[in-house]
Chains A and B, each alone.
Chain A
Amino acid sequence: MTEILPVILFILIVSFVLAISFWFARKARSSSGYYAAGGKIHWSVNGIAFAGDYLSAASFLGICGMIATAGYDGFLYSIGYLAGWIVALFIVAEPLKRLGKYTFTDALDARFNAKGIKLMAAISTLVVSLFYLIPQMVGAGVLVTPLLGLPHYAGVIMVGVIVITIVATAGMTSTTYVQFIKGTLLIVFSLILVVALCFRGLSTTPDQGGRVAFREYATMAATESGGKIVPADASYGVVGDVTARNVRLARLEKGGVASWWKVDVSTSGMALHETQSLVTQPDGKRIVNGAPESAANKLALVGNMDSIDGKSGPGVSTGPIDPFRFIALVGSANSSVRLWKELKFADGHDRVSVYYGMPTPGNRIMRPGLSFKVEGTPLERIDFVSLMIALFLGTAALPHILIRYYTVPSAKAARKSTIVAIVAIGSFYVLTLFMGLGAMTSGVVNLSDNNMSAPLLARSFGTFLFSMISAIAFATVLGTVSGLIIAASGAVAHDLMDRYANLIRDDRHKVYVGKVAAFAVGAIAIVLGILFKGMNVSFLVGLAFAVAASANLPSIVMMLFWKRTTSKGISASILVGILASIGLILFSPTMFELYGLDPATAPIPLKNPGIVSIPLSFLTIVVVSLLTKPDRLPDAEELPAAKAKPA
């Protein structure tokens, strides 16, 4: 049953966000007001708003979820996302502010005034924004289920409608202040959550402060006779014996209820370990742990320390510990954490997912390799490098981040706001490691969807913290989606309709077209958010980074640093970057799994396209520029610095 406090806090925060939008609506009547907040935002506010824009559902929900299930591998996203700001600060912040007005297309085109650049950069903005919108919408759907008791699609539609309302009323000014408030709240409440976590400490039998009884999973002895498993407890009958991916499972039945048990054989004999299971029947009916899925019968939340610094058994706990000790204990070779693995296979016409616990040494969790195959084949290692390159180079190429440089009055303010952003975002990313490990060891990991790990960790401290964290997370999605939709709407109204096609009559017409575009992009985002349900949002954002880094970064960098760059080179580079990155993603193992095909049959073995598509885009700009006539206007040094002026 839905609790009332989360609903009240949710309504309050959403109402507050909408109130800010309506309050600032009067500032959004001109193009400058709508797309760039009049260029009058203070750098410190813009810096935190940068953090608000950037700390999206991927950072909060996705990274924490990935750390909760894959340990240090999830934290690699935090490291890569933060490192990307170095590129933004040192390479693009001031030049982009100097050269542009509303969109990054302005800056790219400033030295060429070429239609091809306007068209391609606008298309790139739309594509990247849509890719980035997908995980935000998925995150929204994930949040509303435990918060409001609504299905996934309801959350996606709700976010879409609210964001379209925000964007259609007030544009960049309200989005900036929403981001500022949300960014502040997110960092403050994450810090509160981490402090609470350290006060509670670690336990081998986490019971969420006495709120939820710790569940022990049974182990029973068995023997094998004539190839058939015989459980020691005779009340169980064996009705199936399956081996999938080298894991042997026995299907037992007791009192008409079927359950799957993991079979382990050691020198001391055979043992059966209790698991959790989700069976999807051909008619779509879902069976959880042997009984039909219902509000009362869902997969149980999991995750606990099996041993802490060499001490195991029920009730071992540390009590309050300092943050560094917390990480050191989880990561100690003498500690182990019960992580859960998923095994998918077909059982007749049924699709079966069995989840089984695996005691994993702490030193294995706190280094790369649980999820990314850093010790795998050369190709698997290249895939990891590809992801890290995309994260590093993607930030400075994200349209919704780049447009924020136009909301401040000067290049100097752009630089200062980037530094505030780095401090705020970096602080938050340090906290993600604690929140993720906290979720991993507190019995709050949802086996079928790890995106809710951080809010569920908050719930283990009571309804208030859960409600606040969830409502802030929802506001996070709202804010980021607003920024993305404004970026996309600017690409349509300013870059395409006005600068490219010359179809805009006057300033009011441009704002009107932008709002129509916002509505259309919002509608598309709703559909995509429903289609991509269940995928880790941080992984999806990693793909958006790869597309941005492939499509936009080569042209930005070469335009700034290579005098021989031509407009045709930039257009070709953007086109190749988009096609190569999306093409590689569409034929990747990840997408094949989403299509319902065998991932091993995917023609492209890489999950992350950046290592191929980014160099290809760079190569394209060099080759095409050398083959075409120079058409560049004066260099950066010859160009004046900028001060935004109201349109």
Chain B
Amino acid sequence: MLHEPAVQAEKDPAFSYKKRLGVALFAVYALIYAAFIAINVIEPKIMETILPGGLNLAVVYGFGLIVFAFLLALAYSAMCSRREKALEKAGEA
């Protein structure tokens, strides 16, 4: 049973744009994450550096990766929604 298509069809003209955008933003985050790992294994003592505010680089970088994920996710959503709306309007016109 249930060998029909798994989902019901609906056009998504923004799909290619979202795919490209997703890959680009993923690459940006992956690069910063990779730099974090690289510092940790190559010169971990750098992570002890105290930055203005009293926290060390390890904590600021760690929190930064979490907060940067928030910001990238919000930017991605906003850009996707804008493109979806623009394409919907274009389709209606």
Contact = CB atoms under 8 A, between A and B. Distances in A.
User: Bound pair: A and B?
Assistant: yes
Interface of A: 31, 72, 75-76, 78-79, 82-83, 85-87, 89-91, 94-95, 98-102, 106-107, 110, 324-325, 327-328, 331, 333, 363, 366-369, 374-375, 381, 384-385, 388, 392, 411-412, 415-416, 418-419, 422-423, 426, 429-430, 433, 494, 498-499, 504-507, 510, 560-561, 636-637, 640-645, 647
A87 B6 CA distance: 24
B38 to A, nearest CB: 9
Contact of B3 (A369, A499, A642): A499
A498 B1 contact: yes
Contacts of B2: 31, 494, 498-499, 504, 507, 510, 647
Contacts of A641: 9-12, 15
B66 A384 contact: no
B44 A367 contact: yes
Contacts of B3: 499
Interface residues of B, number: 51
A31 B22 CA distance: 32
Which of A86, A433, A507, A636 gathers the greatest number of chain B CB atoms within 10 Å?
A86
Contacts, number: 172
Given A385-B37, A411-B12, A641-B12, A100 B7 contact: yes
B73 A422 contact: yes
A107 B6 CA distance: 8
Contacts of B8: 642-645
Contact of A640 (B10, B18, B22, B40): B10
Interface of B: 1-3, 6-12, 15-16, 18-19, 21-23, 25-26, 29-30, 33, 36-37, 40-41, 44-45, 47-48, 53-56, 58-59, 62-63, 65-67, 69-70, 72-74, 76-77, 80-81, 84
A291 B55 CA distance: 44
A331 B69 contact: no
Contacts of A433: 59, 62
Contacts of B45: 367
A98 B11 CA distance: 11
A640 B30 CA distance: 29
Contacts of B74: 419
B23 A366 contact: no
A418 to B, nearest CB: 7
A247 to B, nearest CB: 24
Given A91-B26, A367-B44, A411-B12, A82 B6 contact: no
A220 B62 CA distance: 42
Contacts of A75: 62
Contacts of B62: 72, 75-76, 78-79, 433
Contacts of A78: 62, 66
Contact of B9 (A110, A384, A636, A640): A640
A643 B65 contact: no
Given A82-B65, A331-B56, A374-B44, A423 B7 contact: no
23 contacts: A79-B66, A87-B26, A91-B23, A94-B15, A99-B6, A101-B6, A101-B7, A110-B6, A324-B55, A331-B56, A367-B58, A374-B41, A375-B44, A388-B37, A415-B80, A426-B70, A430-B63, A504-B1, A507-B2, A637-B15, A641-B10, A642-B7, A643-B10
A328 B47 CA distance: 13
Contacts of A100: 6-7
Contact of A426 (B15, B22, B67, B80): B67
Contacts of B10: 640-643
Contacts of A422: 69-70, 73
A425 B51 CA distance: 26
A372 B74 CA distance: 33
A86 B72 contact: yes
Ranked 5 nearest A-B pairs via Cβ? A641-B12, A101-B6, A90-B22, A328-B54, A642-B7
Nearest to A71: B58
B43 to A, nearest CB: 9
A505 B1 CA distance: 7
A83 B69 contact: yes
Contacts of A375: 44
Given A510-B1, A640-B9, A90 B76 contact: yes
A169 to B, nearest CB: 22
Contacts of B22: 89-91, 94
Nearest to A72: B58
Given A375-B44, A507-B1, A643-B7, A367 B66 contact: no
Contact of B26 (A86, A333, A367, A637): A86
B73 A418 contact: yes
A324 B50 CA distance: 13
B90 to A, nearest CB: 16
Contacts of A506: 1
